[in-house]
Amino acid sequence: MPRLICGYVHVIDGMNRFIGRIAMYLIFALVGVLLWSSVSKTFFNPSLWTLETAQFVMVAYYVLGGPYSIQLQSNVRMDLFYGGWTPRQKAWMDAFTVFFLLFYLGVLLYGAVGSTAYSLGYFGTEPFSFFWDLFKVLITQGPAAAGEKLGFLERSSTAWRPYIWPVKTLLCFGVTLMLLQSLAEFCRDIGRIRGVEI
């Protein structure tokens, strides 16, 4: 395998391993939020922020841990036949089916970018050009000018009313990491087919 592809696989694996190992500990943050929710409902006035905070932490846990799960091959598989195959046969099947995953993640990323743009007050049909213009203004004119390009920021409809853009931005980041990890797995499968372990 070319050194560039091997380097890509190692860099993406290292980055997703690092992020995934940190994301594992978000489960303790989730437990803490839910524990406080139970305590506050029992002994004090119920907190308004606990349910949505638990949802946001769960999104971060799931989305940031997904690429690491793909890397560890711990994602759910239907292995009625797959389990008995040789590593080379598995690599052929994985190299074929990864295109379905890449298509799904591409559609998911496109929708997430559009939804994130909407949460930042952009109601047009070109979210990528909105983010490109926002980036150019941020670099050339600074944060204050970039803030003026934003519209009405979307908020949750609950009593707490948090802004939605941080969790949507996190979703875009996590789906991008999954796309990169899926491409790395594809490269690894091509290597296995050729008899090279990356």
Please choose, from the candidates 69, 57, 64, the residue with its C-alpha nearest in 3D space to the C-alpha of residue 28.
Answer: 57
Query: CA 143, 118, 56: angle at the middle one, nearest 5?
Result: 85
Find where tokens 């939804």 sit.
Answer: 115
Give the model's pLDDT for residue 99.
95
Give the model's pLDDT for residue 193.
92
Please choose, from the candidates 29, 68, 70, 59, the residue with its C-alpha nearest in 3D space to the C-alpha of residue 169.
Answer: 59
Q: Provide the sign of the torsion angle of the four alpha carbons 104, 110, 116, 119, taken in this order.
A: negative
**d(C-alpha 143, C-alpha 64), whole Å:** 27
pLDDT in tens, the chain (198 residues): 789 999 999 999 999 999 999 999 999 999 999 999 999 888 888 888 998 999 999 999 999 999 999 999 887 777 788 888 888 999 999 999 999 999 999 999 999 999 999 999 999 899 999 999 999 999 999 999 888 889 889 999 888 899 999 999 999 999 999 999 999 999 999 999 998 888
Give the model's pLDDT for residue 132.
94
Per-residue tokens: 75: 């994602």
Give the model's pLDDT for residue 131.
94
Give the model's pLDDT for residue 2.
87
Strand partners, 155: 163
Please choose, from the candidates 100, 88, 97, 76, the residue with its C-alpha nearest in 3D space to the C-alpha of residue 190.
Answer: 88
